[in-house]
Each structure stands twice: as structure tokens, then as C-alpha cells.
Amino acid sequence: MPGHPERPDRLRAIEKVLEADIFDELERKVAPEADPASFELAHPKGYLDRIHSLIPESGLAQIDADTSASPKSWQAVRRAVGGALAGVDDVFEGRADNVFCAVRPPGHHAEKTTAMGFCLVNTVAVAARYAQEKHGAERVAIIDFDVHHGNGTQDIFYEDETVLFASTHQMPLYPGTGALGETGVGNIFNAPLRSGDGGDAFKAAMRDRVLPAVDNFRPDFILISAGFDAHYRDPLAGLELTADDFDWATGKLMELAQKHAGNRLVSLLEGGYDLQGLAESAAAHVNRLMRG
């Protein structure tokens, strides 16, 4: 949709910044298309059939106020999930310690039976279930630092003690979830921030709530919902983070992956809608992952 913030230029901006010399050793792979049956790891078949039926043959189909589908949306979702599952395979089968999946559309707002917030299928949730079902992961931690709360991921795992979900996000802000009192079965750890908060508040939320929760959980696999729309340039929110803050958070999560999960960490792109802020933040994130 012309003018829509969730646009192909987002991936182009990331591809361009990763052309810098410091990324010469970065191994790049084309994401395969996932079998749509894998989506049933996180969503009921009836929901998936309904969403698939809404994909238009031409033009755009409006799914909700800010979520639309085009003729290739299902293919894009298959590619996004395929990239995530390939990343899971790579870290569990020893081909990589960590993987960053530059994929779109994002997924973390997609609830079990509701598409919303630019999201049709919850990619990170499918990846978590896949790690459990194929690779025997017993405790998966999902850390979401997108500026918008990952309501869909929380919804899918709200009563599942084998998956920890921890989130920093601006509140109040879309989608309106993510309060401290939303704790699931002791596996949900929200750390809401206020508009105008910057790196100090973000680091405090990570140090005081998110990182201790992950450490105590002792995950054998870590997933990151890497939204970069908490960057100060982003037009959709009001946090004041910089690329250095994402670099710091990435390093801290890598330390926990090394301590508990044999370094196994897969990061999936979620939001980030100012192209410069997105590119700077993704570059810092990937550079930190590469430095190990």
C-alpha cells in the first residue's frame, strides 16, 4: 500500500547497510518458503484457512484498519517463516551460533486467531514451537524489544510454562497490552516504558526485569523479536533509543545464550519504520551477533 510504513524499502535499507566492509564475513542465505502446515504450530487450521482465503488475486484486501494483504502476501509469510525455521535448524545443527532473519512481514502481533498490526502469522511463535518439536528444546525464551508490545506472542504462550516471553515496549501505545500484571503462569515478564524514555530507562528495564527472568528460566534456546522502532527517529512511537542501545541489549542476550543455551540464538526482524534508524540499528545488532 503506497505510504504504508511496513514496506519493501525496509529490507532494502538493511541489505544496503550490510554491504559495508565490516560485514564481509557475514554468511548470507536466501530464506526458503515454509510449508504452510508449519503455521499450525502456533495457529489453528481454521484461522489459517480464513486468512489464506482473504489473499486477493489482485489489488489489496483490508484485514483490519492497518493490516492489508496483497497477492503475494502469503508467499511473503511463507518466506518469513521459512527463514526463521532455517535459522533454527542452523543453530541446532551446528552450522551457526546465531542467526538474524531479515524478513517481513513482522509477526508478533498475530494472536492465535487474530491477524493485526501488519501481522498475519506469528513467525517467532512458530519458530519456538518448531525448536521444541523438531529439536527437542525444553525451555525457549522469547525476548521482544520492539516498541509495540508483542501481544500475539503473549497470547499464544500465556499458559505455557515451557516458553518464557519477556518484553520491553512503550505504554500506553498500540496494541494496549503489556502491563506488569500480565504474568501468564509465571512465564510472562513485561517491562513497559513511557514515551520519552531513552537508553537509561531501557537498560534499567532489561537489567531489573528481563535479563534476570531469562537467567532464572535457564533457556536452552533464545529467540529475539528484534523490532527497531524504539529508535528515536521512528515515526510510530516515542522512545528515544539509539543503535548503541540495541547493540548493548544484543550483547546481554548473547551472554545468556552462551551461559544456558550453547550460544543458540535466532533473531527475527519485527518493526522499525524509519529507514535510517532501522539500518543503523540492524547493523549494530548484526555486528554484535557476528562478534560473538
What residues are labeled active site? 109
Q: Where are the alpha helices (DSSP H) in the chain?
A: 9-17, 45-54, 73-92, 123-135, 151-157, 199-205, 211-217, 243-260, 275-291
Burial of 217 per CB tally in 10 Å (0-12, 13-18, 19+): buried
Q: Using an 8 Å Cβ cutoff, are 113 and 119 in contact?
A: no
Helix (H) or strand (E) holding 221: strand 221-226
Return d(Cα 195, Cα 88) in angstroms, integer. 34
Torsion from C-alpha of 280, 246, 223, 236, nearest 10 degrees: -70
Q: Using an 8 Å Cβ cutoff, are 231 and 281 in contact?
A: yes
Return d(Cα 40, Cα 253) in angstroms, integer. 28
